[in-house]
Chain A
Amino acid sequence: MTPPSWLGQGWLAPHYLGWLLHGAAMTAALALCVSLAASLLGILLCAAQDSPLRVLHWPARLFCSLHRNTPLLVQVLLWYFGVGGLLPDQAMQWLNSPHQLALPLGLSLSWPSFEWLAAWIALSWYSACFISGELAAGLRTVGSGQRLAGRALGMSEWQIFRLVVLPQALRHIRQPLLGQYTAIIKNTSLTMAIGVAELSYASRQVESETLLAFQAFAVATLFYLLLVIATQLAGSRRSAEEPGR
């Protein structure tokens, strides 16, 4: 039986698989960096909206609604073209030329490209708003009786938060947070629009080079599925180890 004509001729050559694998590594690295930054920023945003200082409330809320109600792609383009255009020429020249930081053992760390930085910042700010929403919702699930009980036992506000509220809230936050990290993996695909060589970009490149669209997209889709499933497994493994569940 001959394969249907739309499948194209043959399978992907090994070096094209290498491109896709490199793209998947780039996607994983970007998603990891974004997850770290977005979690930190999300905690700050959540703290600002929950803080006793009322002046912090509305800027944090405005920041979130601005980011949640515009497309991520537009934010990525805004950072890349808009903010890139604002920087002085020398700064752009420095950012666009390679820089190496020598590490011991003969390793070196290279300064990321400008599109990578723009993608990282745009994705982190966007995701932080969603993460702060999940954190706030998790904290709200702990009833006020718990706080009052803590106060009755003579605990300080920090002790109440650290020993009473946080452990209970974390249990509710874990699943939604895992969903946000999955969303971050998927959202890194948008950065192909500014030329970050991640998985979607690589699949498009392989497709236009080989004309084997089906194979290129199938491998890329498989890599996305693997990354997402690995994230879900890592998350549920952690919650199974948790005592008292």
Chain B
Amino acid sequence: MMLSLLHDNLDYLLWGNLAQGQPGGLLLTVGISLAAGVLATLGGLAGGVALCMGGPRLCRVLNTLVQILRAIPVLMLIFWCYFLLPILFGIDIPGVLTVIAALALINAAYLSQSVKAGIDAIGDGQWRAAQALGMTRWQALRYIILPPALRAMLPSFVNQWITLLKDSSLAYVVGVAEFTFVATQINNREQVYPLQIFGLLAIGYLLLCSALEWLGRRAGRMPA
């Protein structure tokens, strides 16, 4: 019985209606996470560098923004993006993009703090040595400070990517047909094996997150 359920729904669970040009399921979850992950990483790096190199006024504005973003639930931020982005741009924006924007924003806020902490952890002596060699502040950041700082930050980046991957399941609340949404759809249709369906869903995420964790640990061990 369970096997026939799996046989009937596995394609839909894995990639949604891909043949009709509507990717969904696990494939969409990976797509959302990749897009939001790249944006969040770039945003976090830019934010962290700005916190270290920018003036006091810029830092105060950025810090306030980060504090607010960290104090509200991701779900609330998705609601906000869902409601505000179409108004800001004056066009209809698909749910997938609003979710990507919300996830990128909140994770960039968390990552900017890790980047700032990572740069601060590199001793003052390094900055001064670079200055003594005639480097500008930006050259020192680019060639002296960032390379070891980024290596030290890798574990917190991997943790944040895992959080992002898990939070992509929240796209469910605005009706984006990702992995969790598709599973609840199947559950509503079949009504017989809720434990198996959601168990399978959990295993899917578990494999993705564990793979990410493993990759991160491998990359951390690689020689420079």
Neighbouring A residues of B198 by C-beta, 8 Å: 74, 77-78, 81-82
**Nearest A-chain residue to B83, judged by Cβ:** A213
- State the main secondary structure of chain A at its contact with B: helix
The answer to whether B73 and A189 touch across the interface, beta carbons within 8 angstroms, is yes
Contact present for B213 and A69 (CB under 8 Å): yes
The complex places the Cα of A6 from the Cα of B83 at a distance, in Å, of: 10
Task: Determine if A29 is an interface residue (Cβ-Cβ < 8 Å).
Answer: no
Please state if B72 and A224 are interface contacts (CB–CB under 8 Å): yes
Contacts of A83 in B (CB 8 A): 195
B80 at the interface (CB under 8 A from A): yes
Contact B206 A66 (CB under 8 A): yes
B79 touches A204 (CB 8 A): yes
- Complex alpha-carbon distance, A72 and B76, angstroms: 16
A154: which B residues are within 8 A, CB to CB?
Answer: none
Given A66, A71, A213, which contacts B169 in the complex, CB threshold below 8 Å? A71
Number of A-B contacts (CB under 8 A): 100
Given the complex, which residues of B lie within 8 Å of A204, measured CB to CB? 79
Interfacial chain B residues near A214, Cβ < 8 Å: 83
| B87 CB within 8 Å of chain A | yes
Could you tell me how many residues of chain A have their Cβ less than 8 Å away from some Cβ of chain B? 37
- What residues of chain A lie closer than 8 Å to B183, measured between beta carbons? 77
Chain B contacts for A203, CB-based, 8 A: 76, 79
Residues of B within 8 A of A6 (CB): 87
A contact residues around B73 at 8 Å (CB): 186-187, 189-190, 200, 224
User: Are B180 and A73 in contact, CB atoms less than 8 angstroms apart?
Assistant: yes
Q: How far is the CB of B162 from chain A (nearest CB, A)?
A: 7
Interface residues of B (CB under 8 A from A): 68, 71-76, 79-80, 83, 87, 162, 166-170, 172-173, 180, 183-184, 187, 194-195, 198-199, 201-202, 205-206, 209-210, 213
| 8 closest cross-chain pairs (CB), A and B | A82-B195, A81-B194, A189-B73, A69-B209, A71-B169, A71-B166, A186-B73, A78-B198
